[in-house]
Amino acid sequence: MLNQDYIMAKKEFSFNEAVVEIEKILSKIESGDLDVDKLAVEVKRASELIRQCQKKLHTTEEEINSIFKDLA
């Protein structure tokens, strides 16, 4: 898990990669394959990724609105 955190911190945030990782975490939780000892860590990671995705979506929306405003 630390390697993934390190990789995500070192490279530019990728929305699509974050979504894939969230989906993997959800799959582990839903299937029951996730060890109880790691559950909190995985849920925390998913929440961090969701927060980053929300931030990216908000930033992208602002950029698009700015572009449309400049066209008017």
Summarised one tens digit per residue, pLDDT across range 58-67 is 999 999 999 9
Mean pLDDT of 26-47: 92
Is the CB of residue 21 less than 8 Å from the CB of residue 49? Answer: yes
In angstroms, the CA 2 to CA 26 distance is 18
pLDDT band per the 50, 70, 90 thresholds, residue 10: low
pLDDT band per the 50, 70, 90 thresholds, residue 57: very high
Q: Which is more confident, 54 or 3?
A: 54
Q: Is 55 exposed, middle or buried (0-12, 13-18, 19+ CB in 10 A)?
A: exposed
